[in-house]
Amino acid sequence: MIPEDDTIKYELIQNNILSESNINLSLDLVATKYRSRKAFLRDFTSLHMIVLTKGCNCNCRYCQVSSSPQTSNDINMSQKTAKKVVEMIFCSPSPYIKIEFQGGEPLLNWKILKFIVDYAKMLNKIYHKQLEFVLCSNLTKIDDSIIEYIKENNIEISTSLDGPKDIHDYNRPCRNGQSSYDLFIENLNRIKKAIGNDACSPLVTITRDSLTRLREIIDEYIKLGFNGIFLRPVNPYGNARTEWNILSCDTDSFLKYYKDTLSYIIKLNLEGIYFVEYYTMLLLSRILTPFSTGFVDLQSPSGIGISGVVYDYNGDVFPSDEARMLARTGDYFFKLGNVYKNSYTEIFYGEKLKELIKTTIIEGTPGCSICVYQAYCGTDPVRNYVESGQIIGHHPFSDFCKRNRGIFDYLFELIGSNNQEVMDVFWSWITRRDFNEVSL
């Protein structure tokens, strides 16, 4: 009696299609590739996002975290809460820990940010993790003393730039009426002078108004010395959810301008300007290599709670930034627990997170399991929940799915055309090397 799992192998041998040794080698290669694709599961949670404050000095039109004016300490993380959060972070079995400071504007609670960095470094003398820090800031509240501390402690800076002055100021106005763009440029230059040209990594949020100006936005990024962009449409959380009909980009329009912008970026690379579209790079890495990516939305099961987790200013714990954003509007469906009320085991091995992980394995999800792009894609249960009321969602009809399918279609069209110059550009992004090095 032949074991059911060996049926295909047996038939190939009987028909002299492959030798047993070749089949075993092929199966080993497939297994190795699959392990590589799922490598993100190996170490468990490595990215720990800490919300230092709900307050912000800007009032962005699409603010997905529903920030508030800085009017009281009730919206700031306390030192007591920060201490418990850091201690929970170091319970993670991952040998690699990245602590990311978020808000609101985290610099409004600078004292607690410094406490966390110092306390985490002290604990790490015991745990010996690979420890990194990232500050997510609009840069408007930074000063020389903060820059010096960032430099001394090797803190990476992630910021936001929505494009030229008129777009940025319109989308991201300061509450006091100042130009957020002017403050951004002034402080960006101070950071570059003190730390280096690569000290900041910006993110853009694309709204309906800015969608038609993507080429201008690319030019702005290049003018300021940035070498890449992540073409990211606004998501339906926080303030953006209430203004969705005004802010959102419909899928067909987004795909139209995405294709135009990607063609423009490829052209720039061929002219000698190294510039990456990071979402395309992530998808190409999934398509052309067996390796996993750190991007939660392209993981199966979803990376929520596994790859990253969020600790809110009051100690509430959420499996993703989007889950925290949803809670800001009063929906705590995805809340995993609280650092005061729950242990690490209760939060990270509890039924809530187990259920989320179980239902986000796209290999067995209706619609995804039969999709030709399943091996390269992922799922966002929070987005599914917002759009359909279910964490599994109706994938073939979701905006996320339609947009990804459209992008995959276009990328496979480009790959299938086998244009050597285009492929050299793509490989330069994947390998993070200059185009001229790849094309030699």
Question: How, if at all, do strands 228-229 and 276-277 pair?
Answer: parallel
Q: Which amino acid is at 184?
A: F
Place of tokens 């061929």: 270
Could you give the angle at which helices 251-270 and 399-417 cross, rounded to 10 degrees? Answer: 30
Question: How far apart are the C-alpha atoms of 306 and 361, rounded to whole Å?
Answer: 13
The side-by-side arrangement of strands in the sheet containing 308-311 is 200-203, 156-160, 130-136, 96-102, 47-51, 308-311, 316-318, 337-338
β-strand partners of 362: none
Cis amide bond preceding 196, omega within 30: no
Among 95, 90, 191, which residue's Cα sits nearest to residue 139? Answer: 191
Place of tokens 């294709």: 259
Sequence-distant (6+) residues with CB within 8 A of 265 are 218, 275, 276, 277
Token digits of residue 227: 């070498």
| H-run or E-run covering 50 | strand 47-51
Position 9 scores a pLDDT of 52
Three-class secondary structure of residue 406 per DSSP: helix
β-strand partners of 134: 100, 156
Question: How far apart are the C-alpha atoms of 24 and 30, rounded to whole Å?
Answer: 10
Domains, in order of start, for the chain: 40-348 (3.20.20.70)
The answer to whether the CB of 299 falls within 8 A of the CB of 292 is: yes
Residue 247 phi/psi, 5-degree rounding, is -90, -30
The answer to whether the CB of 53 falls within 8 A of the CB of 75 is: yes
Position 4 scores a pLDDT of 46
Question: How far apart are the C-alpha atoms of 412 and 280, rounded to whole Å?
Answer: 11
The answer to whether the CB of 168 falls within 8 A of the CB of 162 is: yes
Position 1 scores a pLDDT of 42
pLDDT by position in tens, the chain (length 440): 444 455 555 555 555 555 666 656 666 666 666 666 666 667 789 999 999 999 999 999 999 998 988 776 789 999 999 999 999 999 999 999 999 999 999 999 999 999 999 999 999 999 999 999 999 999 999 999 999 999 999 999 999 999 999 999 999 999 999 999 999 999 999 999 999 999 999 999 999 999 999 999 999 999 999 999 999 999 999 999 889 999 999 999 999 999 999 999 999 999 999 999 999 999 999 999 988 777 888 888 888 898 899 999 999 999 999 999 999 999 999 999 999 999 999 999 999 999 998 888 888 888 888 899 998 988 888 988 888 888 886 666 788 889 999 999 999 999 999 999 999 999 999 998 876 666 55
CB atoms within 10 A of CB 329: 14
Q: Which amino acid is at 394?
A: H
Q: Which amino acid is at 273?
A: I
Q: Which amino acid is at 7?
A: T
CB atoms within 10 A of CB 366: 12
Position 3 scores a pLDDT of 45
Position 2 scores a pLDDT of 41
Among 179, 246, 238, which residue's Cα sits nearest to residue 211? Answer: 246
Question: How far apart are the C-alpha atoms of 193 and 183, rounded to whole Å?
Answer: 15
Token digits of residue 12: 């190939």
Place of tokens 């100042």: 178
Q: Where are the beta strands (DSSP E) in 188-288?
A: 200-203, 228-229, 276-277
Q: What b-and-e string marks burial along 159-190, b requiring 16 or more CB atoms within 10 Å of the CB?
A: bbbbbbeebbbbbbbbeeeebbbebbbebbeb
pTM of the model: 0.90
Question: How far apart are the C-alpha atoms of 316 and 120, rounded to whole Å?
Answer: 19
